[in-house]
Amino acid sequence: MTTLEIKDLHVSVDTPEGVKPILRGVSLAVESGQTHAIMGPNGSGKSTLAYSLAGHPKYTVTGGSVLLDGQDVLAMTVDERARAGLFLAMQYPVEVPGVSVANFLRTAKTATSGHAPPLRTWVKEVGSAMDQLRFDREFLERSVNEGFSGGEKKRHEILQMELLEPKIAILDETDSGLDVDALRVVSEGVNRAKANTGVGVMLITHYTRILEYVKPDFVHVFVDGRVVEQGGPALADRLEAEGYDRFLR
Amino acid sequence: MGISQQSRGTRLASFELTDFPQPNGREEEWRFTPIADLADLFAGDLKAEVVTQVQGPTGVGVSVETVGLDHPRIGAVPAPTDRLAAAAWAASESATLVTIGGTDTTQPTVVRVIGSQSERPTPSAAQLTIDAKPNSRGLVLLEHTGLARLNQSVEINLGDGADLTVVTVCDWTTGSVHAASHRVRLNKDAHLRHVVVMMGGSLVRITPHIELAGEGASLDALGINVTDSGQHHEAQLFVDHAARNCRSRATYKGALLAAGAHSVWIGDVLIRAAAEGTDTYEENRNLVLAKGAHADSVPNLEIETGQIEGAGHASATGRFDEEQLFYLESRGIPKELARSMVVHAFFAELIARIGQADIAAALTAAVDAKLDQGRAEPA
């Protein structure tokens, strides 16, 4: 049983025009097995929350705390956070030319689990996870994310989530840019990880579409850097019908 | 783009040392070079202290001889265009002539240039000519090891339809000074893969002057330097498109490991009026891994005809891509390992283009070893 506890988190970003506050006091707790949908209009700070939790150097935490089972996440380096059990599926996965997917996955698994996975079972595990995501095994020899389509990049992110078995996964607009088939395949991957490892999921999205496949237990509406309303799955239905307008006035 | 006072095509070319004045270091071709460290190599009375050994696959049409400079196949390439190159020529009494006449590319012909036995090496000169017969195919590995002060003249002549790979590796010990003038001619439909690897030595300056003299000739020029504190690695490439429908691709990549490392890349590409249908692209990329390391990078493109397929260049010098490091680290990979993966990958793509597995594996190992050795001092 794992808990990620975000308390009154304030985050700024450095821009050419100066320091700009984005998150203005976010509080949220995600436990193993739970799925939290973070919904909000563009520019509300959803991605800032995701990157801040992963430790991206562009963002500066100016207040609040983040604890993973009582451990201070904000004091950890980026790689330490991943090894502690946090995972961020990025909206724009980065291309790393010259590093093969196979080498990357194995290196990441070795780092997060603390030991090199036994080769034979690992190859099988990777292969079957790729098959289930309908992600061609030829991608293993390609450079990380280089020349991947939007859908391929997202499959690759979810593949990593399944293989690295984090305790808490933050999915940043994993649904954006996916057609309906890809969305279903990717969602099945998320649901498999939930069933197999009990991962707690923070699902950041603009649209309710993915919530038809990955059922949320809680829905948080995010506007202007803070949570303005919380509820159960019914809140998502209401957002689908009414949009974000009533929060923006 | 660099600022040249004159067209690269009009620079003096001569085999006569006395035609070239002693440079003062402010000239375009010398302004990045610590010229004082080369002073004794500019003279015309250099010794022949280095040893050149050739080990080739036998019975496949490769022959090796020592010949006089008056031999008809010596000096059959573009003349020297700077005083160092002319001095190397003037100071040599004989040349090692490697003739490639076969078509076997599975095993390289290895030319080993071995430095002095002395701790204080004498300024020396050496002349090597690689002559690839028409329609031959071959692979030459030119290795440099030991301690030397060497001014070297290398000629590479490709007959019609010849397909040759020449890999030059400078793995000198610290303290070595090496100037190398590569003067190269590609005749009709010839293809050359010209690879320069600068790892060791205190000062290494290679000036490949490659003339695409015959219609349909094709060049792939690749370069790697891994440069540590106290090292100066310099490549001045001149690709001379003199004939129609020729193609050239040049990619040089460098990593600078520590404060006091200095690399220089000058890439001159000249498309002469006669070179219609030219297709050329050159690029230089440098990864600066420490404060106080410096990479100079100057691409120059001169075009004398509008009737070309394409001409481009790129130059980029930077530190690590922080987004790449963040992505790897966000998967639990420690920063040091993430950096190492990114640098390894930076060179892997280029090394793969050499197209010979054994040489690629050896270079990968050598690059990784030097990176590990230099990793003590993070940026």
Domain ranges of chain A: 34-50+85-248
CB contact under 8 A, A104 and B328: yes
> Could you give the residue ranges of the DSSP H alpha helices within chain A?
46-54, 78-84, 101-113, 119-132, 150-164, 180-197, 233-242, 245-248
Identify the closest residue of chain A to B352 by CA–CA distance: A98
- A57 contacts in chain B (CB < 8 Å): 322, 326
Q: How far is CA B73 from CA A98, B54, B76, B101, in A?
A: 42, 18, 6, 14
Domain ranges of chain B: 8-320
As a whole number, mean pLDDT of residues A214-233 equals 95
Q: What is the pTM of this model?
A: 0.82
Nearest to A28 by CA among A202, A194, A191: A202
Average pLDDT rounded to a whole number, residues A158-169: 98
Do the Cβ atoms of B200 and B228 come closer than 8 Å? no
Contact A99 B341 (CB under 8 A): yes
Cβ neighbours of A54 in B, within 8 Å: 326, 330
- Write the pLDDT tens digit of every residue in B47-83: 777 788 888 766 678 999 999 999 999 999 999 999 9
Is A96 within 8 Å of chain B by CB?
Answer: yes
CB-based contact A96 B335, cutoff 8 Å: no
- Reported as a single tens digit per residue, the pLDDT across B255-265 is 999 999 999 99
Per CB-CB distance under 8 Å, the chain A contacts of B331 are: 82, 104, 107-108, 111-112, 160, 164
- B120 versus A169: the higher-pLDDT residue is A169
**Closest CB from A81, A93, A107 relative to B327:** A93
Q: Between A56, A108, A160, which is nearest B326 by CB?
A: A56
Fold classification of A34-50+85-248 (topology level): Rossmann fold (3.40.50)
Q: What is the pLDDT of residues A95-154, one digit of tens each?
A: 998 899 999 999 999 999 999 999 999 999 999 999 999 999 999 999 999 999 999 999
pLDDT at B374: 61
Asked whether the beta carbons of B28 and B296 are under 8 A apart, the reply is: no
Report yes or no: B341 at the A interface, CB cutoff 8 Å. yes
Residues 154-213 of A with CB under 8 A from B: 160, 164
Report, as an integer, the average pLDDT of B306-316: 94
d(CA A227, CA A221) in angstroms, rounded, equals 6
SS3 of residue B24 by DSSP? coil
Distance from CA of residue B266 to its chain's centroid?
Answer: 11
Centre a 10 Å sphere on the Cβ of residue B312 and count the other Cβ atoms it contains: 12
Partner-chain residue, chosen from A55, A94, A97, that has the shortest CB–CB distance to B327: A94
